[in-house]
Amino acid sequence: MSRYVLLGLFHEATPTANTIEQLRAVGISDDQVTVMSGMPYRPEMLGRPRHRGRVWRFAIVGALLGAATALFLTVGVWLLYPLVQGGQPITPIPPTLIIAFEVTMLGTMWASFLSMLFENRFPAFKSQLYDPRVTEGHIGVLLEVDEKLADQVEAILKANGAHHFQRVEEKRPLFKPRGGTWQDFKERIAAAIGGPDVGHRKFWLAVLTILVIGGAIGALVPYGVFPISFPTQMENQISIAYEQGPRRAAPAAAVPVQGPVLIAGLPATAPIPANANSLQRGEVLYGVTCIVCHGATGVGNGKLSGFLSPKPADLTSASIQGISDDAIFLVITQGLDAMPSLAENLGVQDRWDVINYVRRLKK
């Protein structure tokens, strides 16, 4: 059975209201009828029920989904992989609140946006009838009916003074499912989902299905369910270890350095005597830069020492105290294994002050 899309144009609200009243009498429900108008007629003026948007419901669901995602990211992940850092609580409240707020808002906004499209029946797959006179103040009554009702509806529209009338056979869809007619198929789905506007609902059902399936597949990738080889960890990537050979040969013109190691532009020996001022500065700077690892007394028991391998050196020991000033200068400047370069934290002068102080840590 073919279906028709009918459009009638009216001048006034009253005949429009009468038409809708009579359409209802022949069994056409309000949501089958679309009234188009450039004028802000309230639905009550046309004897229609007020349309209640459902965007807010989608927004609430989106917000709940967002909040659940945020909770998973902030709390769930740390419960799965607990990693205590620097004595901080595993889910510190300030960043957790920020992430929870952001992701909840993200869920709300996406849900509102998509439901707005859904509510406006986007995308439209059916024959669209429109008359530019609607923008000029005419009221258009648009509806889609079965063949058997089409003549009756046309008569109702004309009897109420529709001054312009269009009737179009519903366009055949591009593809037809196998077995049964497209119409049967549509009716079956319509019965299942409970609505006449099948194309539109099916589209959103497909979008939802793709999102759910895609999301599920995406979520399983990190667990190796789908063997896609990502280079995930730097340590698994092709790389060269620290000072690993082959090394470049020194340039022919290079001069081998004997004795104290020189860094271009920096002094090789302590330029400041270990006077009271230098030692005081050194003590303060040691407390700021070295104490976390080497500890207050210098024996290498600072707060961070437990996390380091090799352990921080015992600065009071004879072996470290036996190292020359310029060698310690070099260690502070360039770092050594787990000890980072502190050149950004300490100026040249500061480094010498610290070295003067380190000398006082001797047992």
Nearer to ligand HEC, 149 or 293 (CB): 293
Scanning 100-108, 210-218, 244-252, 308-316 for contacts with ligand HEC by CB under 6 A, the matching segment is: 308-316
Q: Which of 37, 289, 297, 334 binds ligand HEC (CB under 6 A)?
A: 289
Q: Does 339 bind ligand HEC (CB under 6 A)?
A: yes
Nearer to ligand HEC, 197 or 283 (CB): 283
Q: How far is CA 106 from the centre of its chain?
A: 8
Q: Which of 63, 149, 342, 361 binds ligand HEC (CB under 6 A)?
A: 342
Scanning 111-119, 198-206, 221-229, 286-294 for contacts with ligand HEC by CB under 6 A, the matching segment is: 286-294
Q: Does 17 bind ligand HEC (CB under 6 A)?
A: no
Smallest gap from residue 258 Cβ to ligand HEC (A):
19
Burial class (CB in 10 A: 0-12, 13-18, 19+), 214: exposed
Q: Which of 118, 12, 131 is nearest to 62 (CA)?
A: 118
**339 neighbors 331 (Cβ within 8 angstroms):** yes
- DSSP string over 338-354: TBPP-TTTS-HHHHHHH
Smallest gap from residue 225 Cβ to ligand HEC (A):
40
Nearer to ligand HEC, 147 or 337 (CB): 337
**107 neighbors 63 (Cβ within 8 angstroms):** yes
Please tell me the distance from the alpha carbon of residue 208 to that of residue 196, in angstroms, as a whole number. Answer: 19
Nearer to ligand HEC, 43 or 347 (CB): 347
Please tell me the distance from the alpha carbon of residue 13 to that of residue 18, in angstroms, as a whole number. Answer: 9
Q: Does 284 bind ligand HEC (CB under 6 A)?
A: no
Distances, alpha carbon 285 to alpha carbons 86, 273, 289, 327, in Å: 22, 17, 6, 19
Q: Does 347 bind ligand HEC (CB under 6 A)?
A: no
Smallest gap from residue 262 Cβ to ligand HEC (A):
17
Please tell me the distance from the alpha carbon of residue 59 to that of residue 81, in angstroms, as a whole number. Answer: 32
Smallest gap from residue 259 Cβ to ligand HEC (A):
17
Q: Which of 332, 352, 356, 361 binds ligand HEC (CB under 6 A)?
A: 332
Sign of the alpha-carbon torsion through 208, 211, 212, 213: positive
Q: Does 340 bind ligand HEC (CB under 6 A)?
A: yes
Strands 139-146 and 33-37: antiparallel
Nearer to ligand HEC, 106 or 266 (CB): 266
- Tokens representing 27 are 């069994």
Please tell me the distance from the alpha carbon of residue 95 to that of residue 202, in angstroms, as a whole number. Answer: 40
Q: Report the amino acid identity of residue 250.
A: A
Scanning 18-26, 176-184, 266-274, 292-300 for contacts with ligand HEC by CB under 6 A, the matching segment is: 292-300
**What's 151's DSSP letter?**
H
Nearer to ligand HEC, 124 or 292 (CB): 292
Q: Does 292 bind ligand HEC (CB under 6 A)?
A: yes
Residues that bind ligand HEC (CB under 6 A): 289-290, 292-294, 304, 308, 310, 312-313, 315, 320, 323, 328, 331-332, 336-340, 342, 346, 354, 358
